[in-house]
Amino acid sequence: MPDPHTVSAAVAKLYDTYPFPPEPLLDEPPPGYNWRWNWLAAYSFCTGRKPAKEDIRILDAGCGTGVGTEYLVHLNPQAEVVGIDLSAGALAVAQERCQRSGADRVRFHHLSLFDVEQLPGEFELINCVGVLHHTPDPIGGIQKLAAKLAPGGIMHIFVYAELGRWEIQLMQQAIALLQGNQRGDYQDGVKVGRQIFAALPENNRLVQREKERWSLENQRDENFADMYVHPQEIDYNINSLFELIDASGLEFIGFSNPRSWQLEPLLGKAPELIERASQMSDRQRYRLIELLNPEAVTHYEFFLGRPPLPKFTWASDDTLLQASPERNPCMDGYPGQCLFNEDYQIVHLTPEECQFLQACDQNHANPQTIQTLLAATSLSLENVRKLFTDRLILLVPT
């Protein structure tokens, strides 16, 4: 294992040179939302019910320039937010970003993941996106974070996948070879990488993959450096990913992009194979999916939880009728029959569904059960169940 202090110093130097992410600073709240950073939506995804409290503590572990931190503050108006990062340069940008947009319920600390125990207390929500794979000891890092997760809390993690980043790995190694003893000079690394792409034939596989997937964001040197000249990166497959997850001691709740982990789009024309796959464990099916569709799996994003976590399926009609529904806060274009859902997919609502969602809007202040609301509308219980399945409403047990 490389020396952790040497690796951390090299990573800090990269992000001091190229603060990341390089999103522009705004004098207003950031546009849109990411539902994974909204406590109500994320907790409902993990448990099937709206959380009992909203005045929680959130940790953005490896916050960089504060792009995610800013959203965490604005999307969770009752939460206390803490951000940590090992790059002083990135933290300076994060502080300015949040100050300018009015995200004033956040405190930043110049700490690495491995020093997180210096923070007091525990957190109900921990966000760690694009960080663990850049540490010298991801297992040690996830264990440090797990120790700060409160009972009943959830953690959202994002790490790289090796199959969908194969061409990136090749380019990283090529740049390192050409840099030689200049490796660690990140500006030189960016220069060398851009020269390679400019010189390679148009039909070169590395060039084609860059143009198809990454070139737009990589116009910025910060993105190019983060992708191609990073001093530390560990990419995962399903098997090594679950070794990391199991080492955390936390419960694997599920991938937060579940549509990407469906086998039917790949093998739906072969029902016999679907039947065979149904006999596999979840982890075996995940491995099968990434083997059959490697270019699509560039990363893993998932939730972990610390028990006790409630699990509500609302399978019984009687139980569902007694629940109190509220509208999912992560939607764009509401009120209206055509809107974007939490994943920014277009949804067309019927007039009856719109009427029901409007009634749900009043439920926070004056809770009513689904049974009561249905008596005043022409919507069916089956339609309500679909609204829940499509994650347009959150449910509260009564």
Per-residue pLDDT averaged across 127-149, rounded?
98
Distance CA 262, CA 295 (A): 15
Write the DSSP string, 108-148: EEE--GGGGGGS-S-EEEEEEES-GGGSS-HHHHHHHHHTT
pLDDT at 180: 97
pLDDT at 366: 86
Write the DSSP string, 326-374: EE-S--BS-SSSEEE-TTS-EEE--HHHHHHHHHHHTTTTS---HHHHH
Residue 385, Cβ density class (10 Å: 0-12 exposed, 13-18 middle, ≥19 buried): middle
Percent of the chain with pLDDT over 70: 99
Residue 338, Cβ density class (10 Å: 0-12 exposed, 13-18 middle, ≥19 buried): exposed
pLDDT at 87: 97
pLDDT at 376: 87
Buried b (16+ CB within 10 A) or exposed e, 195-210: ebbeebeeeeebbebb
The answer, yes or no, to whether the previous bond of 21 is cis (omega within 30 of 0) is: yes
Tokens of 298: 């560039």
pLDDT at 77: 97
Query: Do the Cβ atoms of 320 and 314 come closer than 8 Å?
Result: yes
Helix (H, G, I), strand (E, B) or coil at 77: coil
Closest listed residue to residue 42, CA positions, set 329, 242, 338, 322: 329
Every domain of the chain and the residues it spans: 4-162+235-305, 167-228, 317-396
Write the DSSP string, 242-264: HHHHHHHTSEEEEES-GGGG-SH
pLDDT at 26: 96
What's the pTM?
A: 0.97
Q: What angle do CA 46, 151, 318 make, to 5 degrees?
A: 45
User: Average model confidence (pLDDT) for the chain?
Assistant: 97
Confidence grade of residue 1 (pLDDT, cut at 50, 70, 90): low
Per-residue pLDDT averaged across 59-65, rounded?
98
Distance CA 126, CA 366 (A): 31
Confidence grade of residue 216 (pLDDT, cut at 50, 70, 90): very high
Write the DSSP string, 261-299: G-SHHHHTT-HHHHHHHHTS-HHHHHHHHHHHSGGG-SE
Per-residue pLDDT averaged across 368-388, rounded?
94
Query: Do the Cβ atoms of 6 and 213 come closer than 8 Å?
Result: no
Query: Do the Cβ atoms of 201 and 131 come closer than 8 Å?
Result: no
Confidence grade of residue 117 (pLDDT, cut at 50, 70, 90): very high
Looking at residue 278, its amino acid is S
Residues 7-51 have pLDDT tens digits of 999 999 999 999 999 999 999 999 999 999 999 999 999 999 999
Give the number of other Cβ atoms within 10 Å of residue 367's Cβ. Answer: 14
CATH number (1.50.10.150, 3.30.70.20, 3.40.50.150, 3.40.30.10) of 4-162+235-305 reads 3.40.50.150
Distance CA 379, CA 118 (A): 52
pLDDT at 2 over 80: no
Query: Do the Cβ atoms of 158 and 91 come closer than 8 Å?
Result: no
Residues 297-311 have pLDDT tens digits of 999 999 999 999 999
Residues 174-214 have pLDDT tens digits of 999 999 999 999 999 999 999 999 999 999 999 999 999 99
pLDDT at 325 over 90: yes
pLDDT at 380 over 80: yes
Q: What angle do CA 16, 182, 171 make, to 5 degrees?
A: 85
Distance CA 180, CA 24 (A): 34
pLDDT at 365: 80
pLDDT at 340 over 80: yes
pLDDT at 378 over 90: no
Confidence grade of residue 377 (pLDDT, cut at 50, 70, 90): confident
